[in-house]
Copies of this chain bind each other. A is one copy, B any other.
Amino acid sequence: MSAKMLGRAVGSRALSGTVLRSELFDITVSLPRPTFTNQRTMASKAITMENINPNIVKLEYAVRGPLVIRAAEIEKELQKGASKPFKKVIRANIGDAHAMQQVPITFIRQVLACVAYPDLIEKGDFPEDVKERAKLLLGAMGGKSAGSYTMSHGIEIIRRHVAEYIERRDGHKSDWTNVCLTGGASNGIKNCLQLLINEIDGKPSGVMIPIPQYPLYSASLAEYGLEQVGYYLDEDNGWGLDTNELERALKEASTTVKVRAIVVINPGNPTGQVLTRQNIEEIVKFANKHNLFVFADEVYQDNVYDPNSKFFSFKKVMADMGEPYSKRELASFMSVSKGYMGECGLRGGWMEVVNFDPRVQANLYKAISAMLCPSSLGQVAVDCVAKPPAQGEPSYELWAREKEAVLSSLNKRAKMIADTFNQMKGFKCNPVQGAMYAFPSIALGKGAVEAAKKEGKAPDVYYAFKLLEETGICVVPGSGFGQRPNTYHFRTTILPQPDLLQEMLDIFKQFHEKFTKEHS
């Protein structure tokens, strides 16, 4: 296993100012300063910064990092009547649709209510298909109660509905026993990453992830002591994926790392690109050539806005390509947190695992079983997404209208945000073809870079903190996702409702002009 796993590398970053502030946020009032005395004395601690799991210290998660914690502090200050140049914090840092006033899909919530409180099936005033769905799902739960544990991999009927959804999507067979319900996509991703923790021929296992990437990956790799092998997405080509860059990254890493897997996020987070079928074929060929396990993070598969883009799942493309590519090991991840439903809080998702060695799959399932089961109500939401109301059913029209309303509004906002940024001097923003984010680059001059250095911050972090403190707009600096050296970006969601988004973009514009003047 790598030196990283041997407790030598207590990450200095984790002890830096910003991160410590974030670390202390939740516990300011309560705890005494530690006393680092001899282990035998009474005030000593069993777990200290000297003997804690060093991988946990190294782990960072920017989407919920210091900047976001400062945003929460500012909200509390505003509540207490502090005077600021703004009235509210605009949380554009996280893909949290309902928090930005996106309306839940009625069908999902009605089924949830009936499953949670079955008296409503008789007494409540709900459409027939809602009642039928609730009865079907309750019938699949022990004692007809959502309070019973489900099978560790989820309720069979729901897994079957997911497999049917995948078959409709791809036009290829999906075996329900390869579908595993998860508590959001993150759990499934971590369960699969965990299979790779090992040392091969004296080299630690490594996983290729895009730069920029969704920080769950860098955080989980750090946690597991797996080596992060970054490959750069091509900003000048709409964040496309260039196989020469894949080969470069693999080759460079291979001297010290056994590269065993590649993560692809499509549609892209934070970058918003939608991969072409041809691009996916190239990636599959690359993975096959080097015998890499493919992580297909496809949680934004419903979020495609560009009329010239279409979502193709890795499973479909691999199957269309035929052997040997159709035999590649793949895990594809989906969630109810994104798409048109945005049910982040319910923690529902699934993964489809394809072409696993049966004994490896059995071990994956065994490990999952020790965690008992994902939330039964999260699974109910998964069922409603995998098998929505069909045409002709009572809930169909409302469901279709609500879905269309969310997606077309997101579509407008995706265009609006990219256009606005591209009109701003010093900004460059690729079109937001899909997902829920824009990741524009900003030109930061010498003045800004030096000012940031004075504060011991990366220039993009400095910029984002200034933006937050002066305008209340909370975005995530590009360094939280990774970016090419000496380039600066930030991620903003496209989730604020149109009026708020317009307001945010106007404020942003003014701020940037002011910032540029101050730092010229």
Q: Please judge, given known A-B contacts A56-B195, A177-B26, A357-B47, whether A116 and B112 are in contact too, CB under 8 Å.
A: yes
Copies in the complex: 2
Q: Is A125 in contact with chain B by the CB < 8 A criterion?
A: yes
CA A123 to CA B199, docked complex, whole Å: 60
Interface string of A185-201 (1 = CB under 8 A from B): 01100000011111110
Q: Is there an interface contact between A98 and B142, defined as CB atoms closer than 8 Å? A: yes
- Chain B residues lying within 8 Å of A369, measured Cβ to Cβ, are 61, 64
Q: Please judge, given known A-B contacts A14-B363, A291-B40, whether A198 and B374 are in contact too, CB under 8 Å.
A: no
- Chain B residues lying within 8 Å of A125, measured Cβ to Cβ, are 123
- Chain B residues lying within 8 Å of A146, measured Cβ to Cβ, are 345-346
Q: Is A405 in contact with chain B by the CB < 8 A criterion?
A: no
Most buried by B among A6, A23, A32, A149: A149
Q: Is there an interface contact between A196 and B53, defined as CB atoms closer than 8 Å? A: yes
User: Of the 9-residue stretches A164-172, A375-383, A512-520, which lies at the interface with chain B?
Assistant: A375-383
Q: Is there an interface contact between B375 and A64, defined as CB atoms closer than 8 Å? A: no
Q: Please judge, given known A-B contacts A365-B26, A371-B186, whether A143 and B100 are in contact too, CB under 8 Å.
A: yes
For window 19-50 of A, CB contacts with B under 8 Å fall at 19-20, 22-24, 26-34, 39-40, 42-49
* Shortest CB distance A155–B (Å): 10
Q: Is there an interface contact between A49 and B373, defined as CB atoms closer than 8 Å? A: no
Contact of A147 among B329, B346, B366 (CB under 8 A): B346
Q: Is A152 in contact with chain B by the CB < 8 A criterion?
A: yes
Contact of A375 among B39, B57, B345 (CB under 8 A): B345
Measured CB to CB, the nearest residue on chain B to A113 is B117
Most buried by B among A26, A177, A223: A26
* Shortest CB distance A476–B (Å): 13
- Chain B residues lying within 8 Å of A40, measured Cβ to Cβ, are 291
Q: Is there an interface contact between A142 and B99, defined as CB atoms closer than 8 Å? A: yes
Q: Is A507 in contact with chain B by the CB < 8 A criterion?
A: no
Q: Is there an interface contact between A42 and B120, defined as CB atoms closer than 8 Å? A: no
Contact of A366 among B59, B183, B370 (CB under 8 A): B59
Q: Is A276 in contact with chain B by the CB < 8 A criterion?
A: no
Q: Please judge, given known A-B contacts A31-B356, A59-B367, A291-B44, whether A377 and B346 are in contact too, CB under 8 Å.
A: yes
* Shortest CB distance A118–B (Å): 8
CA A372 to CA B293, docked complex, whole Å: 25
Q: Is there an interface contact between B375 and A347, defined as CB atoms closer than 8 Å? A: yes
* Shortest CB distance A172–B (Å): 14
CA A323 to CA B32, docked complex, whole Å: 14
Q: Is there an interface contact between A347 and B116, defined as CB atoms closer than 8 Å? A: no
Interface string of A209-224 (1 = CB under 8 A from B): 0000001100110010
- Chain B residues lying within 8 Å of A355, measured Cβ to Cβ, are 31-32, 45
Measured CB to CB, the nearest residue on chain B to A360 is B47
* Shortest CB distance A460–B (Å): 20
Q: Is there an interface contact between A366 and B327, defined as CB atoms closer than 8 Å? A: no
Q: Is A426 in contact with chain B by the CB < 8 A criterion?
A: no
Q: Please judge, given known A-B contacts A46-B260, A123-B125, A378-B375, whether A344 and B292 are in contact too, CB under 8 Å.
A: no
CA A168 to CA B145, docked complex, whole Å: 31
Contact of A362 among B24, B48, B123, B361 (CB under 8 A): B24
Contact of A47 among B29, B152, B329 (CB under 8 A): B329
Contact of A46 among B6, B94, B293, B375 (CB under 8 A): B293
- 10 further contact pairs, Cβ within 8 A, besides A24-B362, A45-B360: A22-B366, A23-B363, A27-B365, A53-B197, A59-B363, A98-B145, A216-B370, A220-B370, A346-B376, A347-B373
In the A-B complex, the 10 residue pairs with the smallest Cβ-Cβ separation, listed nearest first, are A23-B362, A99-B142, A42-B324, A345-B376, A113-B117, A98-B145, A46-B293, A98-B147, A30-B175, A34-B357
Task: Pull 20 A–B residue pairs with CB atoms less than 8 Å apart, ordered by A.
Answer: A1-B6, A20-B359, A22-B362, A26-B365, A27-B365, A42-B327, A45-B291, A51-B198, A53-B196, A60-B366, A61-B369, A64-B369, A98-B147, A98-B148, A112-B116, A147-B343, A150-B345, A183-B347, A183-B375, A216-B370
